[in-house]
Structures are given as structure tokens and as C-alpha cells.
Amino acid sequence: MSQTPDNAVRQYIDQHSDTFLDDLKEWLRIPSVSAQPEHADDVRRSADWLTGKLKETGFPVTEVWETAGAPAVFAEWPSEDPAAPTVLVYGHHDVQPAALADGWDTEPFEPVIKGKQLYARGAADDKGQVFFHTLGVRAHLAATGRSTPAVHLKLLIEGEEESGSPNFRTLIEQHRGRLAADAVIVSDTGMWSETTPTVCTGMRGLVECELSVCGPDQDIHSGSFGGAVPNPATVVGRIVAALHDGQGRVAIPGFYDGIVELTDRERKLFAELPFDEQEWLRTAKSYAAHGEQGYSTLERIWARPTAEVNGIGGGYQGAGGKTVVPAAAFVKLSFRIVAGQDPARVEAAITQWVEAQLPAGVRHTLTFSGATRPCLTPLDHPALEAVARAMGRAFEQPVRFTREGGSGPAADLQDVLESPVLFLGISVPSDGWHAPNEKVELDLLTKGVEAAAYLWTDLAESLRT
Amino acid sequence: MSQTPDNAVRQYIDQHSDTFLDDLKEWLRIPSVSAQPEHADDVRRSADWLTGKLKETGFPVTEVWETAGAPAVFAEWPSEDPAAPTVLVYGHHDVQPAALADGWDTEPFEPVIKGKQLYARGAADDKGQVFFHTLGVRAHLAATGRSTPAVHLKLLIEGEEESGSPNFRTLIEQHRGRLAADAVIVSDTGMWSETTPTVCTGMRGLVECELSVCGPDQDIHSGSFGGAVPNPATVVGRIVAALHDGQGRVAIPGFYDGIVELTDRERKLFAELPFDEQEWLRTAKSYAAHGEQGYSTLERIWARPTAEVNGIGGGYQGAGGKTVVPAAAFVKLSFRIVAGQDPARVEAAITQWVEAQLPAGVRHTLTFSGATRPCLTPLDHPALEAVARAMGRAFEQPVRFTREGGSGPAADLQDVLESPVLFLGISVPSDGWHAPNEKVELDLLTKGVEAAAYLWTDLAESLRT
Ligand SMILES: [Zn+2]
Ligand SMILES: [Zn+2]
């Protein structure tokens, strides 16, 4: 694994970092909050600004792509080598809502550098991590003497990620041909810490459903009828309890069918990470680790499927008590799934299991909402090795591997484009994504530029073989 | 069991029934809704009206008793026989809210007789059933030629029953001495049906609690943390599921300790009642009978303790899904208890059991609200036999026995006054308690007067032995 930095790359970055930061700050001043309709114009302004900047960077093709919601930005810079592989970079130009009153020390849309940190909404999630590709590709060209990148480079920067990417799948299905790539680089994740650079190798998928159980036609008196008719809140409680077995495994028959188990190498690499469970619990604002037996906390959140109750309700909700048998109760469940699990198969298993749990005399509805597939790149995939080498050169040390417990549009890219998905991110947990005082570490941002500059040559080689 | 009506009683009732009904209608015109502060004056007016009418009836002592809420009415008519036993009649003069707009065919506080039915809020619950004692005691005197009742007769007619009797226990503790009685007659229940006169022999008690379970300090992301920390909604679901065993019995250790089991005679008498389970299910607005194995529906609701979920909640409550591990969840539980179960012992058993269910890493609060004791009079109690005989004479057929699944202030009377509690009621399920178009059957109301007229002589004998 090469860890040799390239002086030409570093020099180029040094020379251009002031302009790079000025530009990024200009972009961060646009409050492109996709979840707030009053910022719709700002999201569009952000797309236009980015399009202009990518053109300036040298991308011969820059386009604003409309969706049913906020616009995305597409850019393309073909390699002069027609045989070069194609790489698509994914990120987003919209941001989470933010207001000074939420607890920010400075205006969230007035970027400010304090010491070695740049504070602004979007500094890390995701404008900073999108933007490092602009200086990255220029440094790649400068250091290699090329006039076009070593790969056919494409960028797709969506505008609705912070609103749940409602139109993303439609967008990429619509532009499937133009987005075709041999690999996808997702620039919207982070690393373990400042001192432990890592590459993420996959994300969990997600299946969500809501179960409603109806008993009596209306709330009935528990004195007159209690104990003699089915209580839908009891039924829902029993289903919640039956979700897991005594070992903390999901007890739905067929749920684990086909899953890709952790390899010994992955378990070993996870175990070597400097994980402090007490500190993790503080971040989780929780008071005990708890979950599937036989797996560590990192394995549980990164690599194991789960069943979680997100919401439950039914019957009397006011203060004090009310002696009723409730007419209805509900539970909202989400299942994280891992590589090898198919959302449709998981949904079928859940449906069959729920129906088997219900006693006579209750009616139910079970509604699934849009599922997300898991994605995982094997540790020995050549493209992943190239990403790890690029990060290793930037950080001058071997990188380690992580996964993400969450679920995201990366899976749609993997699914629709049928390409391996790699993750290149330099954000750290303290960056405060979605929180007040979001920031990016300037040193790490520079490492991101550097890694992006190293990546294309190496990846062109890796994907060609 | 005597079933011989008394012609003198019947004649007296016939002669006075017009005045009796006119008076009752006057009382029913007072909208004594205790739950609505704007009717506070009406509740007081109702107490004053009743006090005046009881004085007119002949009660030498009539008093309005103040509480922290609405006033109660107390009246006393000592027997000329100083050795006569003392009997306290309980009822209430407040009523449920009612408005034409709720679905009444006529104004709820403008009593109207249609055919053999008197329609008005309070016609059956409880003004009609309180008021039959006024004509009843006069018929008793007229038919026996007595100038005072055969028992020392006391009446306590409270004004907050429809608001949960919040000050009732304090009231009777405060007046314990003046309320002292050898038996309590509760006139606030009903019979099986028009053609199956019955006497209620007991009510279930009630223990209520709310359990709150806290996990993370705030809702946390189920992608980042799910599967690795305890989920309070899951914990609550497991507690709900663990409440019952596979036979539908409450699975809390010690819960059944000391309970008075149904006797074979009671089970046989219950089984002989003309019970139609399909019709009962329609009344319960439910779709299946369900409960403790080995017991019939009537046994389940009248004579078996239960654990019921009245409300459950936690986590995301809005439309769609939200991938969080909730910070907290709650469940509101009520336990019906039967004779032999002590609320304090049951609460201790619940507390111990709940604490044993909780995993590491969650905090909880368990709050009990005011409990109600069960009450039960054995079938062979002489006072109960006297009540059954009085009802049998009025209805000219042997009466059968029921219980009430609900819980009420009767238990406080039994508890504070240490007296057996008997139930004398002529209302039927179709009377529509708490519902629009509440009514009382005039023929049954007359039977109530008649039973009250027969009761005192017989009860004086029974209690004396
Ligand atoms: Zn993001
Ligand atoms: Zn009542």
C-alpha cells in the first residue's frame, strides 16, 4: 500500500488553497436548505453557482438537471484516453436547516475560519466534501501534466439529500445512460477520527413499515369488557416482544436468509479500531450497550441487520389513566438490512410473520414505505484498494476500514448503475453534521483534495485490470 | 324464596305514581352535570331539590354535605324500634354530560314519556334509581301501617360519581360515625334484562399504573445506533407481552394470591343466564371473545382479575416513518382485581415484577393512581337473600345473580364502613347509560319502588338474626 505523497500535488494545492477556500465560503453563504420551501430559490442558486464553478474548473460539460423537487448538478470531463474507465462522483449541494437561535456561535450561513476550522452549515455535509474534488482534479492534472483526467470523470451533485432524496432514484433511472460508470465515488461520509483515517466500505439498507391493529370499533370500557376481548395494544406489544429472540437476534423466519456474514479479516480490522465504548455511549446518549449476542457494538451497528421500534401508540394518551380497551394501536418499525438481504424478500418475511402473530378478532394493516438496499464493497475489490491507497498517500499512513450503519442513496447508485460504490470522505464525528456549529477541519479538507488528486491515476489502472 | 307481591304496596304505588313521575321529571330537568364547571350551580340546585323532596317524603333529617367539589345529600329516618338495624342507601344525583347535538332525539334535560319509557339524562343513571326509594319507603309505611321504617334508614346521594368520585372517600371517612350501617344498599346498577331480573353481588376492584421507560437522552438515529443500545419502546412492548402467560393468565408472580375463587354454585348460576355471546360481542363492538382459558366470558368480566393496556406510546407519532431509537416510551395499565386481592399487595407485586423485567441501561418510573377495592357479598349472606326476596316479590319470579366487571365507590363504602354492600337496581342494558337517549323503563321503575317497599321489613329481620 503506497503511502508516498506527491510533492507536485501538495505544491499545487498549497498555491491554490486560498482561492479554493474563498470559493467554498462563497458557496456556503447560499442557504440551500432543501427541506424549507422558502429556500427553494437558494437551492437553485446553489446549483447554478456550482455549475459555474465546475465549468471554471475545466469540466467541458456542466448541466443543471431538473427533478420534481430541487435541481441536481451534473458535470462530465472525459479523458483523452478513450479506453479510460468511467468514474461517477456523488455528493449533494443542499444542506440541513440552521439558525443562530439553534445554538450556533456564529451565523450558520456566514462562514468563518477559527484556527484550523471552517464553521458553516454544509462545511462538512456536504459542500466541503463535494468541493475538494474541484481542486483535486486540477492538482491531478497539474502533477501529472495531463490536460484531461486519467478517468472519464462524472459528477452528480443532488439537491434533495437532506430531504430524503425523494426524486433521486427517478433522476438516476432517467439518466441511467449518461451516468453509466465503472465505479461510483460517494463523497458524503466521514472517517473514524483525525488520527485514524478510514475508508467506509458499505452501508446498511432499510425496510420500514407501519402496523395498525384494530380491535373494538371504538374504545370500550375495561370494566365491562376487559379481559374478555382482544386488546390491540396488547397485540402490538406482543409483536414488539416477539421481534427478537433471547439472543437479540431478529426472530422473523427467513430474515437472515442469504446475508453476507462478516469475514474474519473484517472482524479483526474492526476490533483493531481505537473504539472506546463509554465514549460511544455518550455520543449515543445511552446508558448501556445492548444487542445481538456474539457481536461487538461496531459489528452490531455496521454489519448486522436489526429490527427497531421507531414509534408506538394506541389508546389513552392524556395525563392520568382511563380505563379503556383501546380501539386500535400501531407500531412503526424499521429494519436495517445488510448485504445479501433483499428488501422485497425481507418485506415478504415480515408480512408472513406478522400475520401469524395476530389473534382472532383483530384486523390489521401493514404498510411498507420505500426501502433502501444495502451496499458493500469487498475489502479486496481493486477499486476499494485504489481508494485506500489514495487516502493512505494523503494521510501518510495506512488507512483502516469502517462501514456506515445508516442507509443512503449510495445504494440506489449501486443498484441502478450496477457499479461498485466506494466512499471517499474526510469528515470526522466532531464535525457536527445536522447540528449547530457544523465545521470542517481545514487540514482534513486539504487531505481530501490530495486524496482526490491521487485517486484518478490509480483508479484508472485498477479498473482497467 | 317468597315471590308473593303485596296488594297494599301495589295499590299505594298505583295511587301515587303520577305525582312520583312528575317529581322525578322536575328533578331530571336540573342539568346536574358534575364534570362541567358551568353546571356547578345546577349540581347544587339538584342537591337542594332532593333535600327538599326527602324532607317532604318524611325524612326527619336532611342535610347537604359539602365536599371539596360538588355537594352530597344525606338523609336519615330512624326506626321507632331502637333495636332495628341500620341500612344506608347509596346513589348519586349528578349526571353525565348530554346535548341534543350528541344524537338525542329530544332535549336531554326535558324529560319526555314515550309509551312505557321515560327519556332524559339521569332517568336510569341515577336519579330514577335514587328516587324510587322515596315512594318505596312511603309504600312500605302505608302497607305495614308503620309510622317509621322497619330499619334505621339512611341515604347518601353523592354529587360527583360521574366525575370519578374524587372526594367521596374523604367524605365518608369524615362522616364515618353518622354513616355507620349494618348494610349498604347501592342503587346505581342494573339487571340482566327486562325478563331476567337479577341482583348484583359484587364489583371488581381496580389498580392503575403508568410505567415510563427512558432510554437515550433524546431520540437518536437508528442507523447510527440502532441494534446496539436498549430501545425503550421495545422494553415497553416486552413488558406488555410478559403481562400474560400462554393461558391468558396474568403472569405477575403473587398476583392471584388470596383471591376468592368462584364457587361451583356461582359458576352454575352464571352459566344458566341467557347469555348470547354474539350479541355480547356486538355490545362490546368486538370481533372475538378472548381471555383467560378455562373461564366463560361472563366469568372473565365479572369474577376474574385482569391486566389491560389502556394506552401505550413512545417515539415517532406522525405520518410515515422516522428512523429513530426513541428516548422514551410509556404504557398505562389497569388491573381489575377481585375479592381477596388487596390493592397494596397487588401494587407491590407489579412493582417487583416490572423492575425485574427491565434491562440494563434504561431508567423507569412507575406511578400508581388511586386504587379501588373489590367488593363481593357471598350468595348465602342473609342481607343478600333479603334483597333477592324483595326483588323476587316485585318481579314475581326468582331472581338470578350477576356481578359487575367495573369498579365503583361501593368498595369504599364496604371498606370504610365495614358493612356488606348489596345492590338493588332495575336498569337494563338498553337504558343507554352515558349515551344519547338515556331512558328508564317505567314498568321496571315501578318494580324498583315495589322492591324498595318490600325490602325494609325483610332486611330488618335478616340483619337482626
Ligand atoms: Zn450529506
Ligand atoms: Zn351511576
How much distance in Å is there from the Cα of B433 to the middle of ligand 2? 8
pLDDT at A285: 94
Euclidean distance between CA atoms B460 and B465, whole angstroms? 9
- Determine the residue of chain A that is closest to B235 in CA distance: A241
Q: Kindly report the backbone phi and psi dihedral angles of residue A263, in degrees, each rounded to the nearest multiple of 5, phi listed first.
A: -85, 160
Rounded mean pLDDT, A383-395: 96
Which residue in A130, A15, A6 sits closest to A445, CA to CA? A130
Q: What is the pLDDT of residues B208-266, one digit of tens each?
A: 999 999 999 999 999 889 999 999 999 999 999 999 999 999 999 999 999 999 999 99
Q: Kindly report the nearest CA distance between residue B230 and chain A, in angstroms.
A: 6
pLDDT at B407: 85
Q: Kindly report the backbone phi and psi dihedral angles of residue B433, in degrees, each rounded to the nearest multiple of 5, phi listed first.
A: -55, 135
Q: Which stretches of B220-306 are DSSP H helices? A: 222-225, 232-242, 264-272, 277-283, 297-303
Euclidean distance between CA atoms A298 and B236, whole angstroms? 26
Cross-chain Cβ contact A239/B244 below 8 Å: no
CATH architecture of the domain B6-203+374-464 equals 3-Layer(aba) Sandwich (3.40)
pLDDT at A410: 87
Statement: residue B2 has pLDDT above 50 = no
Record the cell numbers describing residue B276, joined without a space.
348470547
Sign of CA dihedral A393, A394, A398, A404: negative
Give the distance, in angstroms, between the CA of residue B173 and the centroid of all CA atoms in the same chain: 19
Which residue among B290, B304, B406 sits closest to A359, beta carbon to beta carbon?
B290
Q: What is the pLDDT of residues A253-282, one digit of tens each?
A: 999 999 999 999 999 999 999 999 999 999
Whole-model pTM? 0.89
How much distance in Å is there from the Cα of B408 to the middle of ligand 2? 9
The structural domains of chain B, with segments of one domain joined by +, span 6-203+374-464, 205-259+305-368
Mutate to test the interface with B, among A218, A235, A308 (most CBs of B within 10 A): A308
Q: Kindly report the nearest CA distance between residue B103 and chain A, in angstroms.
A: 17
Residue the block writes with cell 441494534: B227
Q: Which one of the ligands is nearest to A121 CA?
A: 1
Q: What is the mean pLDDT of chain A?
A: 95
Euclidean distance between CA atoms A18 and A33, whole angstroms? 26
Any A CB within 8 A of B323 CB? yes
Provide the ipTM. Answer: 0.89
Euclidean distance between CA atoms A438 and A426, whole angstroms? 14
Cross-chain Cβ contact B289/A229 below 8 Å: yes
DSSP string, A308-368: EEEEEEEE--SSS---EE-SEEEEEEEEEE-TT--HHHHHHHHHHHHHHHPPTT-EEEEEE
Q: What is the pLDDT of residues B134-150, one digit of tens each?
A: 999 999 999 999 999 99
How much distance in Å is there from the Cα of A370 to the middle of ligand 1? 19
Statement: residue B1 has pLDDT above 60 = no
Rounded mean pLDDT, B331-337: 97
Residues for chain A: how many in total?
A: 465
Using DSSP bridges, classify how beta strands B306-315 and A306-315 pair: parallel, antiparallel or unpaired: antiparallel
Statement: residue B24 has pLDDT above 60 = yes
pLDDT at A465: 67
Any B CB within 8 A of A424 CB? no
Cross-chain Cβ contact A242/B244 below 8 Å: no
Q: Kindly report the backbone phi and psi dihedral angles of residue A398, in degrees, each rounded to the nearest multiple of 5, phi listed first.
A: -65, 140
Cross-chain Cβ contact B313/A312 below 8 Å: yes
Any A CB within 8 A of B145 CB? no
Q: What is the pLDDT of residues A129-177, one digit of tens each?
A: 999 999 999 999 999 999 999 999 999 999 999 988 999 999 999 999 9
DSSP A431: G
Q: How confident is the model at residue A1 (pLDDT cuts 50, 70, 90)?
A: very low
Cross-chain Cβ contact B359/A234 below 8 Å: no
Q: Which one of the ligands is nearest to B406 CA?
A: 2
Cross-chain Cβ contact A229/B326 below 8 Å: no
pLDDT at B164: 84
Q: Work out the percent of chain A whose per-residue pLDDT is above 70.
A: 99
Domain A205-259+305-368 carries which CATH code? 3.30.70.360
Kind and range of the H or E run holding A391: helix A382-395
Neighbours of A12 (CB within 10 A): 21
Which residue among B221, B313, B407 sits closest to A317, beta carbon to beta carbon?
B313
Euclidean distance between CA atoms B427 and B447, whole angstroms? 10
Q: Please, which residues 147-206 of chain A have a Cβ atom closer than 8 Å to chain B? A: 204, 206
Task: Identify all chain B residues contacting A208, using CB atoms and an 8 Å cutoff.
Answer: 321, 323
Residues contacting A290, CB < 8 A, separation 6+: A248, B228, B229, B230, B359, B360, B361
What Å distances lie between residue A9 and A143, A398, A409, B326, B403, CA to CA? 5, 19, 31, 47, 89
DSSP B245: -
Cross-chain Cβ contact B312/A309 below 8 Å: no
Euclidean distance between CA atoms A423 and A411, whole angstroms? 12
Which residue in B390, B306, B283, B419 sits closest to B4, CA to CA? B390
Q: Reduce the DSSP state of residue A87 to 3 states and report it.
A: strand
Q: What is the pLDDT of residues A430-464, one digit of tens each?
A: 998 988 999 999 999 999 999 999 999 999 999 98
Q: What is the pLDDT of residues A296-326, one digit of tens each?
A: 999 999 999 999 999 999 999 998 888 899 9
What stretches of B338-397 adopt beta strand conformation (E)? 363-372, 375-376
How much distance in Å is there from the Cα of B188 to the middle of ligand 2? 5
